[in-house]
Each structure stands twice: as structure tokens, then as C-alpha cells.
A and B are shown apart, each in its own frame.
Chain A
């Protein structure tokens, strides 16, 4: 019986629930006490032992239902098997469906699956291929032909009971096989689909990520941001211990007749970085701005003051939109309001300087995201210079490949002269690296 449990744990791991060996052992001892008989109880107990966050609990429930469905279905469909007139059908599969026991049917599915080399399944996209292949091996094609003939020969009459039953069984079989494939995929698809997809998303150019995947990418970004936040909040701790606080030490130790027993330390005030982000959201770069903002606003734990501005020609502040609304909504809103139109970096810089140059101080990092394609307008590089002089550092992130900088109307070099650092930032991996540097140096 332990095999079932370890298989289940493997399936859980594949759907990204982290289960350690110690927890598996716990699960085994739990199952020993509650047993397998009561499915609901089993589910409730395992959900206490294995998944350890609300998100994991959700995944656990899906996984549990997928994994243990087969048995339930078997119990339900045992009764529906009492038809006799099967002489005029000669498909083997039909006979098996009508006469064979559920166990035999499962066995023949497993055999067919073996023939179809189900173990080779790796990606979630292969599921339908394998389902089809297994069904073919089982002889579904022949049965379908016969059913078609029956349908054609009976003309207007109602379908016979036999035909009806066969059709039902066939649908049932299809479901069963696709469940089986799903289960096998969870077991054998070792590089879990999710991990693979994350890999792909990380290295894919951000502008090319399809909108339908935005939700997944969002959760990926949030995960990465959380990791960074953890890393940097811990780093901050080390800064805490400072000098001996003599006044407090003496006051505290008055009760010990002035013997300095407990020492008190003066804590250094931790300066959390101020970050100002300016994003170009014109057509070409809008997609990148989305991810940039997504990332930064997932970091509010470690960044005390974050102000975001977007522009295509005129500059507008969007910080409050992000504070109040859901991230997705805020991004859409920002892109709608300010996106499109031709870019004018000169104008944007002018706006930014008049808006908040005074607030920029030696703790501030200014991050500019854009391709520096200025439509041959005035560059106003002197504004960059004055921002650079006041700020602690200025980062420029350019989503274009380095070889395209300074081609056409791009004026990257003019601006990069006044930047502390310039990064190429085309995919999420690069973005993470940039933001990590940002947090490291901004404090």
C-alpha cells in the first residue's frame, strides 16, 4: 500500500507541492492510523500533513481528486452491465465493453498503454496524442465504424438499446483512458510541465509572451520577487547591530547596583531604498514595462518608497493606481491611459524633472526603462545629467539587443553617458538579475 502513497507524493511533487521525505514518512504513519477506506477522511488527513501553504492545499486537492478518481468511477459503473444481444457485433472491444469486468477493462487499457509507450510521456501537450494512441490500440476505430453503420442502417428509428449502451460505454472508455493518461503523465512526466514552462518563460523575450499566459507569468514573477525580497530583507538584518548604547545600558542596569550586566545596543536605522521608475510604454516597449512594473510592485516589502511614472510623450504618475487596484488592472489602466503614441524622451525627462527633481536625494535610485528611440526629437541630455548628479544611481534598462542600440533613431549612447549602469533587459531572467543588482546597491 505504501507504493500508492509514494506514487501520490511523486505526483504531488510534479504539480509543484514540495514534499520532503520526512513528510512522506509522516504521511505513511498517518495513513496507518486512519486507513484507506474512507476517502474523505484520507483526503482531510493528508491535506494536513503534506501541503503547507494555502496554494499548495489547492493543488493538493486537485491532485488528490485526479489521482484517486479511478477507484471511485469503478464503483459507480459496475452496475450498468446487463445487456445480452451482442451477437450482431463483432468488434472485440465491444464485447469487452459489454461483457468484461471493470478490472479486465482496466487491464486492457494498461496493456494498450504499454504498447503505446506511455512511459515516454513528458509534456502536458502530449496527453491527447497518447489518449488517441491508446484508444486506437484498443480497437476503437473498428467499433466506431460499426456504430456508424448501425446509425446509417436504422434510418429514422430510435437507436437500439444496444447501440445506446455501446455509445455510452465508448464515451465512458474515452474518459477512462484520458484519466489514465493524466495519471500516467503525473507519474512519468518527470520534468513537470510547470517547471518546464517556467524555464521557457524566463528565457523568452518578454514582448513575445502570449497574453493568455500572463496569469502564469505573473505568478512566476511574484515567486521570483518573493525570493529576492527574502534575500534582501535578511541582508538588512545584519545591518541592525550597531554601537553600544551607553545611556540605555546604564539606565537598564541601575537595578544591578550599576554593574553593567545587560548591554543595550544602539540600532542603526535601516534606510530602505527609494526607487523612482520611469517606463516607456509606447507601442514597442509597452510589453516590457508591464513585467518591470509587475516585478517592482511585488517588492513593496523591501522597498519603502516606490514611485512609478509612465510616458509615451507626456509623463504621468501611476503609483497610486498600483496601490489601490489589483496589479493586472493597474497595468492595463496605465498602458491604456499613457500607452501608444510616439515617444518623446526629451519631453518625458522635462516632465519628470519638474515633477520630482527636488525629491531625488542620495538614497534614491532612478530606473529608466526604454529603448531610447526618440523619433529624432530633442534629447535634452542635460536633464539626465542633473538627475544623475542628485541621485545615488541611475539605471537604464534597454529591452533591445545591444547590437541594435544607436541604430536608427536610438540615442542610447547620449543617455548612457549619464547612467551609473546600463543593462540589456529582454527576458525575465535578465530582469531578475537587474533588480537583484538594484536592491543590492540601492540600500
Chain B
């Protein structure tokens, strides 16, 4: 019993790394729980630590379809849930009008006509005219799916309320058709950058995973996985440098995605060694605010020397 979950978590870690996503035990545990308990999982953390990527990888790992819903202000049910195909519905009524003649032929009086009309099958509101949007699509998917609701904090509070039914019961009520329930429960991943506090009701229905900036060791693995052509000593230097930069008081700290971009840039420049000049020239890949760049520029010599030093120490060991 105690062996089971541990092994599965290990498998997840391994499986994810095959798809190029190196995850900490905490992340793997979260994925395991989400699939085991069939509960949505809310991921928070600074931008660029791989929240969205986690959902992508989960889809690959579980071999399910990936359905993505990007949230923004003003997103409503007609864009997220379903929409009627108005055009087709209009055409349908026109066809219906022509057919009506045949149906009503020979009927005497208003009552009989009405009876016949009632017997006539009505498909005006039916699946045929239903345009599925991401949320409904995720529920109806036969194969099961990974539903990514990205940056849920960007949406309005009303939309959050709309999600509650889907997240707790995996069902959607369509007034004209009734309740649509998921056959295969999708794995739901929500991400948030905390630009707005998510409501308690939503949080309560989700597992909660916080992904912080990674530790040096994990970040090294990630860089190695994402930029395999990098030499080990350079990779250690870069990661140490970035870790050092994160200690400084910055407006926006460099995330993993920036580390990876930076590593790619350095490779492109054919550099073998991190030095002050290289760091200065490529700093704008790592930092996105002029103020931050100025802060870090002053510290570059110290950062570079400590980054290369520790890497030397490591390689001797």
C-alpha cells in the first residue's frame, strides 16, 4: 500500500522527464493526487516557472487530448462553454417552413394542426446546433482530456462562479438540454499568476500547488533537459549566476524560462565560459526591466566570479 503511490510518483517524475519536463517531488505528487482523486489542481507561482508547461506535459504523459482555455477579462460562457449555431438554426427554420406544408396537409381546424405540429420532432435546440467550446469539449471528450484553464486570475469573478459546477461535479447545465455529465473525467489544471485573489469557493474545490523558483540542482537538470547541447561547466555557471541574481532585490526576477532562453543565447554566441562581458551583453535576455538591469549590472563582476568559483569547486569534486 505504501509502496504504490511512491512508485507511481516516481514513474510520473520519470515519464515527465522523458517529455523534457523535470519536476520536483512536490509537483509529481500533485499530479499523482490530481489523477488519483480526480480533482482539479490550481497551480500558482511566479511567471515562467512552467505552470502551463506542466499541463502540456501531463497531456503527453497521460496520452490525452490537450484542451486549452485562455482566460481574459470579459470571457463569458458563450466563449468558454457552448454557443448555438444561430446561422444553421435560421436555415433550419426555413426548411421547417417548407416541410410544414406537408405535415399540415389535410388537417382541419386549428386544433388538429396544432396536434400535428406538436407530434413533429423538434430539433431546434439539440446537440446538432450546439457549438462546443473548450469546457464542454473537455467534458464530452471520449478519450478523456487534460483541460488547461490558463491564467484564471485574468477572468472576471462571474466566470469563476461558472467554473464551480464544472470543477466539483464535472458537469454543465445547459438550460435547453439539461445536464451534461462527463463520461471520462478530464484532468483539470488551472493556473494563476495571482494578479487577483482567487475566490475561496474555487480554491476549496481544487488541490493547490505552489511552484516556486527552483533550487540550483533542479534548475540545472531543467537546463540540461531543455538545452542538451550545453556543456556541463557552462550550465553550472549560468544557473549559479541566475540563482545569484534572484537573491537581489528586483522588480521581476528571472524565471526558468528566462534561464533557458539565456542558455540558448549563450550557445548561439558560441561561448564556452561565462565572463563579465558576456553577462553584460546578454543581460537583457534575463531581465525585462531597465531598472533591474541597472541593479544587476553593478553586481555582475561579483556574481560572475562567485558563479565560476563554485562551479570550479563542483567540477573538482
Chain A contacts to B: CB under 8 angstroms = 18, 20, 22-23, 26, 29-30, 33-35, 37-38, 40-41, 44-45, 47-49, 51-54, 57, 226, 230, 234, 237, 256, 261
Contacts and interface: CB of A to CB of B under 8 A. Distances in A.
Contacts of B203: 52
Given A29-B37, A35-B2, A41 B29 contact: yes
Nearest to B4: A33
Contacts of A35: 1-2, 5
Given A41-B6, A45-B29, A20 B204 contact: yes
Contacts of B5: 33-35, 41
Given A26-B207, A30-B33, A234-B157, 18 more contacts: A33-B5, A33-B33, A33-B36, A34-B2, A35-B1, A38-B6, A40-B25, A41-B9, A41-B29, A48-B33, A48-B41, A48-B208, A49-B208, A52-B204, A52-B206, A53-B44, A226-B197, A230-B197
15 contacts: A23-B204, A30-B37, A33-B5, A33-B37, A34-B2, A41-B9, A45-B29, A47-B26, A48-B209, A49-B208, A51-B208, A52-B42, A52-B206, A53-B44, A234-B157
Interface string B33-50: 100110101101000000
Interface string B291-304: 00000000000000
Contacts of B33: 30, 33, 45, 48-49
Contacts of B208: 48-49, 51-53
A18 B41 CA distance: 18
Given A29-B37, A44-B26, A54 B44 contact: yes
Interface string B191-203: 0000001001001
A199 B106 CA distance: 83
A51 B209 CA distance: 9
B86 interface: yes
A267 to B, nearest CB: 10
A313 to B, nearest CB: 33
Interface of B: 1-2, 4-6, 9, 25-26, 29-30, 33, 36-37, 39, 41-42, 44, 86, 157, 197, 200, 203-204, 206-210
B6 A57 contact: no
Contacts of A237: 157
A20 B203 CA distance: 11
Contacts of A234: 157
Contacts of B200: 18
Going nearest first, the 6 A-B pairs with the smallest beta carbon separation are A37-B2, A52-B203, A52-B208, A44-B29, A35-B2, A34-B5
Contact of A26 (B29, B37, B210): B37
| Chain A facing B: main interface SS | helix
Contacts of B9: 41
A310 B143 CA distance: 65
A234 B160 CA distance: 14
Contacts of B157: 234, 237
A30 B26 CA distance: 15
A38 B41 CA distance: 23
Contacts, number: 62
A30 B157 CA distance: 29
Contacts of B204: 20, 22-23, 52
B39 A26 contact: yes
Contact of A54 (B26, B42, B210): B210
Contact of A44 (B2, B25, B44): B25
A34 B32 CA distance: 10
A37 B6 CA distance: 11
A286 B197 CA distance: 33
A37 B207 CA distance: 22
A57 to B, nearest CB: 6
A48 B197 contact: no
Nearest to B208: A52
Contacts of B42: 52
Nearest to A49: B207
A54 B210 CA distance: 7
Residue of B1, B26, B37, B210 most packed against chain A (CB within 10 A): B210
A234 B41 CA distance: 26
Contacts of A26: 37, 39, 207
Given A23-B204, A54-B44, A261-B86, A48 B29 contact: yes
A272 to B, nearest CB: 16
Contacts of B1: 35
Contacts of A33: 4-5, 33, 36-37
A195 B206 CA distance: 27
Contacts of A44: 25-26, 29
A29 B33 CA distance: 10
A106 to B, nearest CB: 25
A140 to B, nearest CB: 39
Contacts of B37: 26, 29-30, 33
A36 to B, nearest CB: 9
Contacts of A20: 204
Contacts of A57: 210
A220 B245 CA distance: 31
A111 B128 CA distance: 73
Contacts of A226: 197
Contacts of A49: 33, 207-208
B2 A38 contact: yes
Contacts of B86: 256, 261
B120 to A, nearest CB: 26
A38 B6 CA distance: 9
Nearest to B209: A48
Nearest to A233: B196
A56 to B, nearest CB: 9
B55 to A, nearest CB: 16
A50 to B, nearest CB: 8
A141 B286 CA distance: 63
B8 to A, nearest CB: 10
A152 B84 CA distance: 94
A52 B192 CA distance: 12
Contacts of A37: 2
B294 to A, nearest CB: 13
B303 to A, nearest CB: 22
Nearest to B205: A22
